[in-house]
Structure 1
Amino acid sequence: MIVDRGRPAWLTWTVRAVAAAGLLVVLWACLTAWGAVVHGHPAYAVLLGLTVLGCGWALWPGRRPRPTRPAGRRVLDVALVVAGLVWIAAMAWLRPFTAVEPALTAMYSDESVTVTESATRVVLAPAGDSDGEAAEDTASDGDAAGTAVFFRPGAKVEARAYAAVLRPLAEAGHTVVIAKQPLAVAFLAGGAFDAARAEVPAAERWVVGGHSLGGVVASTDAAGAADDAGAPAVGLLLYASYPAEDLSSLTPAVESVSASRDGLATPATIEASRANLPPSTTYTVVGGAVHAFFGDYGPQPGDGTATITHDEARSRISEVSRAFVDSLGR
Structure 2
Amino acid sequence: MTTNRPRIRRRVLRISTAVVSVLAVVIVVFLVWANSVMQGERPAALEVWRNPAISVTSTDHSIVMSPTENPSGTGLVFVPGARVDPYAYMYKLSGIVEETGATVVITKPTLNLALLDTRPLDTFTQDVAGISNWYVGGHSLGGVRACLLADSPEVTGLILFASYCANDLSASTLRVLSISGSDDGLSTPEKIEAAAQLLPDDTVFDVIVGANHASFGDYGVQPGDGTASLDSAQMRDQLTAALAEFGL
| TM-score exceeds 0.5 | yes
Q: Is the 8 A contact 1:113 1:127 kept in 2?
A: yes
2:194 maps to 1:272: yes
**Aligned in 2, Cα 1:81/1:106: closer, same or farther, shift over 3 Å?**
same
Determine which of 211, 214, 220 is the counterpart of 1:292.
Answer: 214
Report the CA distance between 1:80 and its aligned residue.
2.9
Distance 1:111 1:164 in 2: 14
Write out per-residue CA displacement over residues 143-168 of structure 1, whole angstroms, 9 at most, x where no aligned residue: x5621111111111121111001111
2:89 maps to 1:127: no
Runs of 5+ consecutive residues of structure 2 not aligned to the other structure: 1-8
Report the CA distance between 1:298 and its aligned residue.
1.3
Q: SS state of the match for residue 44, structure 2?
A: coil
Report the CA distance between 1:124 and its aligned residue.
0.4
Equivalent positions of 1:75-114 (< 5 A) are 75-94=15-34, 95-114=36-55
Write out per-residue CA displacement over residues 204-247 of structure 1, whole angstroms, 9 at most, x where no aligned residue: 1111111111111112222x13xx3xxx3222110011111221
Write out per-residue CA displacement over residues 239-283 of structure 1, whole angstroms, 9 at most, x where no aligned residue: 011111221122121110011111111110001111111111111
Equivalent positions of 1:28-177 (< 5 A) are 70-94=10-34, 95-129=36-70, 146-171=73-98, 172-177=100-105
2:127 maps to 1:186: no
Q: Is the 8 A contact 1:162 1:296 kept in 2?
A: yes
Distance 1:249 1:102 in 2: 42
CA RMSD of aligned residues (A): 2.0
Runs of 5+ consecutive residues of structure 1 not aligned to the other structure: 1-68, 130-143
Which has the larger share of helix?
1
Q: Is the 8 A contact 1:179 1:192 kept in 2?
A: no
Q: Is the 8 A contact 1:154 1:211 kept in 2?
A: yes
Identical counterparts, % of pairs: 38
- Name the larger-Rg structure: 1
Amino acid paired to 2:143: G
Q: Is the 8 A contact 1:106 1:167 kept in 2?
A: no
State TM-score, norm by structure 1: 0.67
> Which range moves more in the overlay, 149-158 or 194-203?
194-203
**Aligned in 2, Cα 1:191/1:88: closer, same or farther, shift over 3 Å?**
closer
Q: SS state of the match for residue 118, structure 2?
A: coil
Distance 1:145 1:268 in 2: 35
2:164 maps to 1:236: no
> Which range moves more in the overlay, 147-156 or 299-308?
299-308
State TM-score, norm by structure 2: 0.88
Q: SS state of the match for residue 121, structure 2?
A: helix
Report the CA distance between 1:101 and its aligned residue.
4.1
Report the CA distance between 1:104 and its aligned residue.
1.9
| Corresponding residue number in structure 2 for 1:200 | 128
| Corresponding residue number in structure 2 for 1:38 | none
Distance 2:127 2:33 in 1: 32
Q: Is the 8 A contact 2:144 2:163 kept in 1?
A: yes
Which has the larger share of strand?
2
Distance 1:109 1:325 in 2: 26
Q: SS state of the match for residue 269, structure 1?
A: helix
How many residue pairs get aligned? The number is: 238
